[in-house]
A and B are shown apart, each in its own frame.
Chain A
Amino acid sequence: MTPDEIRKSYHVELKELKKMVEEMGDLSSRAISKAIDSLVDLDEEKIREVDDLDNKIYAYDRAIEKKSLDLIALQAPVARDLRMIGTCLKIITDLNRIGRYSQDITKVTERMLGKKHMKKLVSIPHMADLTTKMVDMAVDSFVEENEEYQEEIYEKEEMVDALYDEIFREVLTYMMEDKETITMGTQYVLVIRYLERIADHACNIVDRVVYMETGERIEPET
């Protein structure tokens, strides 16, 4: 018996679990992009597409949780396998939240349907691109089992935070100049708040990957 043949079905199941998390991550990333597209284009059809994605994300959340618990109960995983399963259980909550924030963005779109944007949206899609990239990188770090993505993700998070401040100030200026823009301006502020939260979830995911790979926990910044 070669080493790879020992507990073969268990190792196949671990790979399947990882694949499911990868697919869930892909859905979450697509949900952000699609939600921002719905906002930029004020397109009702895209709102439905995000709803569909969010439903699928939720189904993955349930399925991954069940598979993880089954593996713990039946296979008694230890060491890195145990940390991997623990990581799956944690990061699916982050990915689920990302799906929910994407849906929240489409709620903003819904409220804006039939209206026009104050100006062409540039900074918000840029912030969304960065945020989506962070989520993609966090999921890649999990799939590739490579914690070295952490530094780049944290650098991008600083950029996202800076963009949040910048856009917030810009929108505030518009609202102070013309009170007619307040209704729409507050909606933009909500969107950038959701994007900033999504970026934080991407950081959470890569922090868990660091633990999965090294066994060392990242202490939260005080």
Chain B
Amino acid sequence: MFAKIQELLEKESSCERTDLPDRVKMKVQDFDLWYDDIQALKSVDMDVEENKVTAIIGPSGCGKSTLIRSLNRMNDTIPSVRTEGKVWLDGYNIYDDVTDCVDIRRKVGMVFQKPNPFPFSIENNVFYGCEVNGMDVDKDKTVERCLKQAAIWDEVKDRLDENALSLSGGQQQRLCIARALATEPEVILMDEPCSALDPIATAKIEDLIDELKKDYTVVIVTHNMQQAARVSDYTAYMYLGELIEFGKTTQIFENPKKKSTEKYITGRFG
């Protein structure tokens, strides 16, 4: 254990550092990404504020999912991907060679478009990340805390040993959020978390996002602009791999500065 801590401390001390402005949890700086020869992200600069919800919107293929996946190095799993630039988390460059990807993904959890619970019991789904990361935590307490935070505890507390696949789509998605919370992340990434859900389940997830930002920093990709308007504090509009406009959500939806943003959000192109 001591050796591991020592190793982590050494890694951390050798990792590239910078001072981020107050309240900035993550900072994307001059970030480019290529899939082979195709450039999917072009010089993206964006600050993610702590305990706020940042929404990324834009037409299909604009790079929003690529950008959110870059925030915890999920794109590393794709062999043809090459990146330039930096993404800072708490002042550390997560793209530094010495950075441990597993550690990054523990701090920056992710929820995907389609709920993807493992074919285990509800409680084992929640606790899975803790086991994999070798976290020394109480299982029952962790499961209860996460299911409560994900606003699904009351619905499943009497059947924690049932298979997670027996839950409805909306419940499965909240279970996946609970699973992401188990490793005590600081940032939660959500890639279109409601696109496979009905309006009631969507409303529950949106309420949940509002609750989660008290304890976590949330970044969400959504195709639903009204959802971005409802849940986020900041909105980033992307087009053809570029971050066209970034600002407070009220400003983006009431008075966007760029014509391209205006055209997209008013439905004049898409």
| A residues neighboring B (CB under 8 Å) | 3-4, 6-7, 10-11, 76-83, 215
Min CB distance A98 to B, Å, is 28
Out of A6, A10, A11, A215, which one reaches B255, CB within 8 Å?
A215
Q: Which residues of B contact A (CB under 8 A)?
A: 225-226, 229, 253-256, 261-263, 265-270
Write the nearest CB–CB distance from B237 to chain A, whole angstroms: 11
Q: How far is the CA of A3 from the CA of B263 in the complex (A)?
A: 9
Chain A contacts of B229 at CB under 8 A?
78
Taken together as a complex, chains A and B put the C-alpha atoms of A10 and B256 apart, in Å, by: 20
- Flag if B266 contacts A81 (CB, 8 Å): yes
Please, how many angstroms separate the alpha-carbon atoms of A78 and B237 in the complex? 14
List of A residues within 8 angstroms of B261 by Cβ: 79
Contact A78 to B263, CB < 8 A, known contacts A6-B270, A83-B254, A215-B254:
no
User: With A78-B254, A215-B254 given, can you name 10 additional A-B contacts, CB distance below 8 Å?
Assistant: A4-B268, A11-B268, A77-B266, A78-B225, A79-B254, A79-B262, A79-B265, A80-B262, A81-B266, A215-B255
Greatest chain B CB density within 10 A among A7, A78, A83 is at A78
Tell me, in angstroms, the Cα distance from A82 to B268 when the chains sit together: 14
A73 CB → nearest B CB, Å: 12
Q: Could you tell me the distance between the alpha carbons of A125 and B22 in the complex, rounded to whole angstroms?
A: 64
Indicate which residue in A7, A82, A83, A215 contacts B267 across the interface (CB closer than 8 Å).
Answer: A7
C-alpha gap A7/B253 in the complex (Å): 17
Known: A78-B253, A215-B255. A3 touches B269 (CB 8 A): yes
Cα of A77 to Cα of B253 in the assembled complex, Å: 9
- CB-based contact A79/B266 at 8 Å: yes
Residues on the A chain within 8 Å of B253, using CB: 78-79, 82
**Docked-complex contact B255 and A83, CB < 8 angstroms:** yes
Contacts of B254 in A (CB 8 A): 78-79, 82-83, 215
Residues of A within 8 A of B256 (CB): 79
Residues in B with CB closer than 8 Å to A76 are: 225-226
Residues of B within 8 A of A83 (CB): 254-255
Closest residue of chain A to B270, judged by CB? A6
Residues of B within 8 A of A80 (CB): 262, 266
- Would you call A78 and B266 a contact (CB within 8 A)? yes
Pairs of residues from A and B, 7 with the lowest C-beta to C-beta distance, nearest first: A215-B255, A7-B267, A3-B269, A78-B253, A81-B266, A78-B265, A79-B262
> CA separation between A166 and B261, bound complex, in Å?
51
Would you give 26 A-B contacts (Cβ < 8 Å), ordered by A? A4-B268, A6-B267, A6-B268, A6-B269, A7-B267, A7-B268, A10-B267, A11-B267, A11-B268, A76-B225, A76-B226, A77-B266, A78-B225, A78-B229, A78-B254, A78-B266, A79-B253, A79-B254, A79-B256, A79-B261, A79-B262, A79-B266, A80-B262, A80-B266, A82-B253, A215-B255
Q: Identify the closest chain A residue to B263 (Cβ).
A: A3
Q: CA–CA, A82 to B266, complex, Å? A: 9
- Alpha-carbon distance A6/B269, docked complex (angstroms): 7
CB-CB < 8 A to A77: which residues of B? 266
User: Would you give the shortest CB distance from B261 to chain A, in whole angstroms?
Assistant: 8
Residue among A11, A77, A80, A83 facing the most chain B CB atoms (10 A cut-off): A80
Q: Report the separation of the CA atoms of residues A7 and B229 in the bound assembly, to the nearest whole angstrom.
A: 19
Q: Tell me how far the C-beta of A77 lies from the nearest C-beta in chain B, rounded to whole angstroms.
A: 7
State in angstroms the CA–CA spacing of A79 and B266 once bound together: 7
Q: In the complex, what residue of chain B is closest to A76 when comparing beta carbons?
A: B226
Question: What residues of A have a CB within 8 angstroms of the CB of B270 in the complex?
Answer: 6
Given A79-B256, A82-B254, the answer on whether A3 and B266 have CB atoms closer than 8 Å is: no
In the bound complex, CA of A199 to CA of B131 (Å): 74
**Complexed CA–CA distance, A9 and B238 (Å):** 26
Across the interface, which residues of A come within 8 angstroms of B226, CB to CB?
76
What is the bound-complex CA distance between A28 and B236, given in angstroms? 43
Tell me the complex Cα distance, A4–B267, Å: 9
Closest Cβ–Cβ distance, residue A81 to chain B (whole Å): 5
Interchain CA distance A216-B267 in the complex, whole Å: 23
Contacts of A215 in B (CB 8 A): 254-255
